[in-house]
Structure 1
Amino acid sequence: MGVVRQLRQVSADNDGIDLAFRADVRAGLTQAQKAIPARWFYDATGSALFEDITALPEYYPTRSETDLLQRHAAAIAAAIGPGRAVVELGSGSSTKTPLLLEAIAPAAYVPVDISGDFLRGSAMALAARFPGLPIYPVEADFMQAVDLPREIAALPKLGFFPGSTIGNMVARTAVDLLRNWRGSLGDGSLLLIGVDRIKDVETLIAAYDDPAGVTAAFNLNLLERINRELDGTIPVENFSHRAVWNDIYARIEMHLVAACAMDFQVDGRAYHMAKGETIHSENSHKYGPRDANLLLRAGGWTPLATWDDADPAFALILAEATAFRSAP
């Protein structure tokens, strides 16, 4: 069996609640447009629900990206080369990861994810599948600075950021993240990133508002998590899921819509919502080819190759760390 090192964890406050989660919920519920970052979907229940979403016929991103990894494995491996430490951002259950690991013969694997339970389970499953591969799971919010294990410090690195997770971020946040990971992965590093393409609105809406209601349950679980972990009294039954296409920003937006006026408490603080008011819970930006390349360059990465012949349209882009240059 592969070697799984001790799980490294994020810091929490004295009662076990993640400091960043508490801060984001407090700040988000006081805004004129209430909003909570999408990364907080992924507790154990949310992570399991997302895995269910990826298997839905309407949810094309996982199917399209998996198809690209399978059909272009040889070309991707040739462009990356063997012997790199693969650092996966937001690994979840790592369903696509074996396709990459089988293709490129890595020296180590570092999954970084905010859900420790899923991270631990996926690391053990990969260890059984890849005997001898050192695995160093890190439980952390990859949106923040993350110290990589010292065991991979001397290895060339490949960042793996699948699932078009970069689309959850507004442009400035996406650029900040790409720059942070350019610094963490270091000179000579590569990045393989999944990016969803702009397509017809009907296909997009169906992917984020499935008739079986799995995405709705995933969205509503965010409120359940707040109630569980922050002593909330949110009446979850008074909220519904909504997915809309925002053409100006080229993104799907997910909202939690209040069916009636209500008052509730979270973490000892009182909040009010009017009927029809929403909590903006997720963005999923879609990118044309030039948009995606510009985003990468702004984040310190130079695009090298693109595989984007999936149906529905999706892209895998390989980029290299742009050399830092001194000011003239």
Structure 2
Amino acid sequence: MSATPDPIVSVLLDPDRAGDSLIDDVRRGLGSHPRTLSPKWLYDDRGSELFDQITKLPEYYPFAAEHEILSEHADEIAAASGASTVIELGSGTSEKSRILLDAFTATGRLRRFTPVDVSEATLRQATETLVERYPALQVEAVVGDFTLHLAQLPQGDRRTIAFLGSTIGNFYREERAAFLGALSDVLVAGDSLLLGVDLVKSADRLVAAYHDSDGVTEAFVRNVLRVLNRELHGEIDADGFSYVPFWDPQMERMDLRLRADMPQRVRLPAADLDFTLASGEEVRVEISTKFRVSGICGELEDVGLSVRQVWTDRAGDFAVLLAMKPTG
């Protein structure tokens, strides 16, 4: 019996570079109007823990809907992709990955799995679980930012890159087009993208999903202020803000903001920022765009990816698309 391959954990996030990136993002976002923060800074170790809790909330339907799709169609996905390497961007705890890995393993082709996440602690814990469950699988984990490190993902084999959870909805349209284009550029003929997208639905259901009764999503969004205080030696009163989630029907997206309850002085010495937020002034922390199947298919075709199959859950809340890089 062959020995279990030793897992590999590559840390691509240089702490100094990450700090510089945070400073650049904060200066640009908080120095503009409307004021914004990049959602990538929500996912420190505490933020990752909170998001894992969010996925288990009864109001948060996207996780259950995507889980249903993967559970019912993973065998079809594995067969259609033909991949021997699976790469998952923003893998978190890799819970949904295991549904895919079971199906890909059953094909007899799967050789390697690469989970990618910014949280090293979460990734290392997930890697230990994966090695125990799939002793013949080479696990090559990457601690990195998928917006920066696509070109450094493992090469060779026939690859499927999984980008699940409708994380693509956190990008503004121009950013989304650029990111999908960059993804297409790193794929070679025969590679594929497995993309999960949340679909447009009633405003009441959408707002409820992002304003849960336990306040976990609010704590998740507020956590970004604590990240700024910790990383940039800030003195922001994290409790001096109200959480404001709302549906933007024109852009078809949820908009998650923090509103100053009173004038708030924002001091971030490491970013050389010192200004006052007016009472009622808002900071946009995250958007979550919702999609129509025809629209996202068009966006993928625009960057040279051919949509081969679309699966939805029984309620029609969520979709998973498999798009291929054409062979000729």
Which of the five TM-score ranges fits, normalised by the shorter chain? over 0.9
Please tell me whether the aligned partners of residues 306 and 318 of structure 1 are also in contact (alpha carbons under 8 angstroms): yes
Amino acid at match of 1:298: D
Distance 1:231 1:304, change over 3 A: same
Quote the Cα distance in structure 1 between the aligned partners of 2:209 and 2:85.
Answer: 33
2:238 is the counterpart of 1:236: yes
Counterpart of 1:208 (choices 210, 216, 232) is 210
Among 268, 291, 296, the alignment partner of 2:295 is 291
When residues 6 and 73 of structure 1 are mapped into structure 2, their CA distance, relative to the original with a 3 A threshold, is closer
Identity of aligned residues (%): 34
Asked if 2 retains the 8 angstrom alpha-carbon contact of 1:3 and 1:132, the reply is no
Asked whether the 8 Å contact 1:69–1:99 carries over to 2, the reply is yes
Using the size of structure 2 for normalisation, the TM-score is: 0.93
Pick one of 215, 218, 221 that aligns with 1:219. 221
Name the residue aligned to 2:139. 135
2:25 corresponds to? 24
Cα displacement (A) at 1:132: 1.7
- Aligned amino acid, residue 66 of structure 1: H
Which of 121, 127, 138 is equivalent to 1:123?
A: 127
How far did residue 17 of structure 1 move? 5.2
- Is the 1:58–1:207 Cα contact (8 Å) retained in structure 2? yes
Q: Distance in 2 between matches of 1:147 and 1:17?
A: 18
Deviation, structure 1 residue 43: 0.2
Cα shift at 1:315: 0.3
CA contact (8 A) 1:145 1:180 kept: no
Letter in 2 for 1:308: T
**What is the DSSP-based 3-state SS (H/G/I as helix, E as strand, rest coil) of the residue aligned with 1:182?**
helix
Distance 1:229 1:18 in 2: 8
* Structure 1, unaligned runs of 5 or more: none
Distance of 1:318 and 1:2 partners within structure 2: 29
Deviations 1:268-323 (A, max 9, x none): 42021001111101111111111110111123311000001343610010000146
Q: Does the CA-based 8 Å contact 1:197-1:288 persist in structure 2?
A: yes
Using the alignment, how far apart are the partners of 1:290 and 1:180 within structure 2? 21
Gaps of 5+ in 2: none
Q: Secondary structure at the match of 1:26?
A: helix
- Report the Cα distance in structure 2 between the residues aligned to 1:270 and 1:164, rounded to whole angstroms: 35
For residues 226-277 of structure 1, what are the alpha-carbon distances to aligned partners after superposition, in whole Å with 9 as ceiling and x for unaligned? 0011101111110121110000000000001100112121124202100111
Counterpart check, 1:68 vs 2:69? yes
Q: Hey, what does 1:195 align to over in structure 2? A: 197
Counterpart mapping for 1:146-185 below 5 A: 146-148=150-152, 152-185=154-187
- Per-residue deviation, residues 36-80 of structure 1 (Å, max 9, x unmatched): 111111000000000000000000000000010111122222212
Q: TM-score with structure 1 length normalisation?
A: 0.93
Distance in 1, matches of 2:274 and 2:238, equals 16
The total of aligned residue pairs comes to 319
